[in-house]
């Protein structure tokens, strides 16, 4: 390709054909010829360039002066930390458009949680009241049984008292 192009543009360095005697066309041809020369050089180096591109960069050693080694260690630690947290950061960035929706969901969940806390506190108060009543009942049951046994022993008839609950659930 290069040789045939040079043959066609040979007149760029010599005398141009009769139709292209102006300097502008000669300058264009000269520019094309220099581009062609550059592309030929690239094609020659194509194999070595391809090998360099395929070769992993991590296998090459970068010279670092000894005074900067401690900074390189710190820099590598920062790089490792960044890479470890990269997925989390990307997920955060991906969730930014959904932030308003997530805040609404969290507000609803917080409201439900407040309701559950209030109901749990109320239930705890009712349980404590019930325990107090159970203590009162368990305190009076043996006395009532003793009175009943005494009344039964001496044939005394007493009307029974109904137990009523003071707790309203």
pLDDT in tens, 123-165: 999 999 999 988 888 888 887 777 777 666 666 655 565 555 5
Q: How many CB atoms lie within 10 A of CB 12?
A: 20
Nearest of 65, 167, 59 to residue 123 by alpha carbon: 167
Q: Is the pLDDT of residue 34 over 60?
A: yes
Structure tokens at 165: 């609950």
* CA–CA gap between residue 144 and residue 12 (Å, rounded): 130
Q: Is the pLDDT of residue 117 over 60?
A: yes
* CA–CA gap between residue 167 and residue 122 (Å, rounded): 12
Nearest of 83, 169, 156, 157 to residue 130 by alpha carbon: 169
- Give the least confident one: 23-27, 66-70, 93-97, 161-165: 161-165
* pTM more than 0.75: no
Q: Is the pLDDT of residue 91 over 70?
A: yes
Q: Is the pLDDT of residue 78 over 60?
A: yes
Structure tokens at 158: 């007493």
Q: Is the pLDDT of residue 20 over 60?
A: no
pLDDT averaged over every residue in the chain: 77
- Give the least confident one: 24-28, 80-84, 101-105: 24-28
Structure tokens at 114: 């407040």
Alpha-helical (H) ranges within the chain are: 2-8, 23-44, 46-54, 69-95, 99-153
Position with higher pLDDT, 143 vs 102: 102
């Amino acid at each position: 390709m290069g040789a045939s192009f040079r043959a066609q543009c040979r007149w760029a360095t010599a005398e141009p054909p009769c139709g292209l005697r102006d300097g502008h066309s000669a300058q264009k041809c000269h520019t094309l010829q220099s581009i062609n020369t550059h592309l030929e050089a690239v094609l020659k180096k194509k194999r070595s360039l391809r090998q360099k591109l395929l070769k992993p960069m991590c296998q090459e050693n970068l010279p670092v002066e000894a005074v900067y080694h401690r900074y390189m260690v710190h820099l590598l630690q920062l790089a490792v930390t960044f890479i470890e947290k990269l997925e989390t950061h990307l997920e955060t960035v991906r969730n930014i458009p959904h932030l308003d929706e997530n805040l609404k969901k969290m507000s609803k969940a917080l409201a439900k949680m407040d309701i559950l806390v209030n109901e749990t506190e109320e239930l705890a108060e009712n349980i404590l009241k019930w325990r107090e009543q159970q203590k009162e009942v368990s305190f009076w049951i043996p006395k009532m049984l003793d009175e009943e046994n005494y009344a039964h022993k001496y044939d005394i008839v007493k009307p029974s008292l109904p137990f009523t609950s003071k707790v309203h659930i």
